[in-house]
């Protein structure tokens, strides 16, 4: 099947980036969200990010106009029914994803590929309740989507070879690099990355170092472009905690126990950049460490 149209569920940080790269690559995109305000903000952000690409001479003004012309927004899941590929990029909660698929699947064409951008949840388990597990896959983009090169492709136990091959071709067409990950909790990137962040939070929690000293140590001592606590704020502390819980529950190993300080920050609603406060206060022009 030649994939020409793409549906994107969720207009947040990941969803708008996915819509951006597909539309720029020439696909017709329908993006949906339960919030009309979120859809409006997503289009504005896509336009802003396209302007950034123009300023870096990666695309032209004509490319921007064509890209925006290929994106349509809707609040109705049923409007994604004619898409050849639908990518779910909703919040990292399994119950939410199951509810979305239950509403969506009756509207899909038999041949449509359904994918999830989940960063940690079992693809086999998500696929099992869609009625089309052979046409279901994990397609995990990295954030920010227009910038990051990698896409993790995760097959569930029932995913067909044909479906996998079609998505390998799609990833290549949008200018990304695909890596295959097996269907184990958090796959490859987050299996390694999020426990590192959790350990950084433990280092802060136990008083080994301050926010500033921990991040500077990893940037200057390990040549990381961003410190782990700064990165946690960028990802969202709620997302980090959700992934740690998936690892802890799925692998039953105490080394994946979420740090109590990470839990406390999430309980306080201090989720990082998106709420203005996490391990840094983001209210001013420069982030200020909160500990």
Q: Do domains 5-182 and 191-289 have the same CATH topology?
A: no
Q: Of 131, 151, 130, which is closest to residue 142 (Cα–Cα)?
A: 151
CA distance 73 to 29: 8
pLDDT in tens, 14-35: 999 999 999 999 999 999 999 9
Contact 43, 69 (CB under 8 A): no
31 is in an annotated binding site: no
- pLDDT cut 90: percent of the chain above it: 97
| 221 marked as part of a ligand binding site | no
Query: What is the pLDDT averaged over residues 172-201?
Result: 96
Predicted local distance difference test score (pLDDT) of residue 92: 87
219 labelled as ligand-binding?
no
- Whether 143 has a binding-site annotation, put simply, is yes
pLDDT of residue 193: 97
For the entire predicted model, the pTM comes to 0.90
Q: Which pLDDT tens digit goes with each residue over 189-248?
A: 999 999 999 999 999 999 999 999 999 999 999 999 999 999 999 999 999 999 999 999
Domain ranges of the chain: 5-182, 191-289
138, β-bridge pairs: 116, 154
Tell whether residue 14 is among the known ligand binding residues: yes
Q: The domain at 5-182 falls in which architecture? A: 3-Layer(aba) Sandwich (3.40)
For residues 14 and 117, is the Cβ–Cβ distance under 8 A? Answer: yes
Domain 191-289: CATH class, spelled out: mainly alpha
Question: Is 61:104 a contact under the CB 8 Å cutoff?
Answer: no
- For residues 260 and 266, give the distance between their C-alpha atoms in angstroms, rounded to a whole number: 10
In order, the DSSP letters of 200-229 are HHHHHHTTSS-HHHHHHHHHHHS--SS-HH
Asked if residue 1 has pLDDT above 90, the reply is no
**13 annotated to bind ligand:** yes
* 227 marked as binding residue: no
* 3-state DSSP assignment of residue 165: helix
The reply, when asked if residue 253 is annotated as ligand binding, is no
* Per-residue model confidence as pLDDT tens digits over 276-287: 999 999 999 999
pLDDT tens figures, 258-282? 999 999 999 999 999 999 999 999 9
Pairing of strands 5-9, 28-32: parallel
Considering the chain, what is the average pLDDT of its residues?
96
Q: What is the pLDDT of residue 109?
A: 95
Q: Per-residue confidence at 118, pLDDT binned at 50, 70, 90? A: very high
Instruction: Give the residue numbers marked as catalytic.
Output: 119, 140, 152, 190
For the stretch 53-111, pLDDT in tens is 999 999 999 999 999 999 999 999 999 999 999 999 998 889 999 999 999 999 999 99
């Amino acid at each position: 099947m030649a994939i020409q149209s793409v549906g994107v569920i969720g207009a947040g940080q990941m969803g708008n980036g996915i819509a951006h790269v597909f539309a720029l690559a020439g696909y017709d995109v329908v993006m949906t969200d339960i919030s009309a305000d979120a859809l409006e903000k997503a289009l504005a952000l896509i336009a802003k990010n396209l302007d950034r690409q123009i300023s870096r001479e990666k695309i032209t003004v004509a490319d921007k106009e064509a890209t925006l012309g290929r994106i349509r927004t809707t609040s109705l899941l049923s409007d994604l029914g004619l898409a050849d590929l639908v990518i779910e990029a909703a919040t990292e909660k399994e119950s939410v994803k199951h509810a979305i698929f239950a509403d969506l699947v009756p509207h899909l064409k038999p041949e449509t590929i359904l994918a999830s951008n989940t960063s940690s949840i079992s693809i086999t388990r998500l696929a099992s309740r869609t009625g089309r597990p052979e046409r279901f896959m994990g397609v995990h983009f990295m954030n920010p989507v227009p910038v990051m090169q990698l896409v993790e492709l995760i097959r569930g136990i029932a995913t067909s070879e044909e479906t996998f091959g079609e998505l390998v071709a799609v990833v290549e067409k949008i200018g990304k690099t695909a890596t295959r990950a097996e269907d184990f909790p958090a796959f490859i990137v987050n299996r390694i990355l999020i426990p590192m962040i959790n350990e950084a939070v433990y280092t802060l929690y136990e008083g080994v170092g301050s926010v500033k000293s921990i991040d500077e140590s990893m940037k200057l001592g390990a040549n990381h472009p961003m410190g782990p606590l700064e990165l946690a704020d960028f990802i969202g502390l709620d997302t980090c905690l959700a992934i740690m819980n998936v690892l802890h529950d799925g692998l039953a190993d105490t080394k994946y126990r979420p740090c109590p300080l990470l839990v406390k920050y999430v309980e306080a609603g201090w989720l990082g950049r998106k709420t203005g406060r996490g391990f840094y206060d983001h209210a001013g022009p420069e982030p200020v460490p909160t500990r």
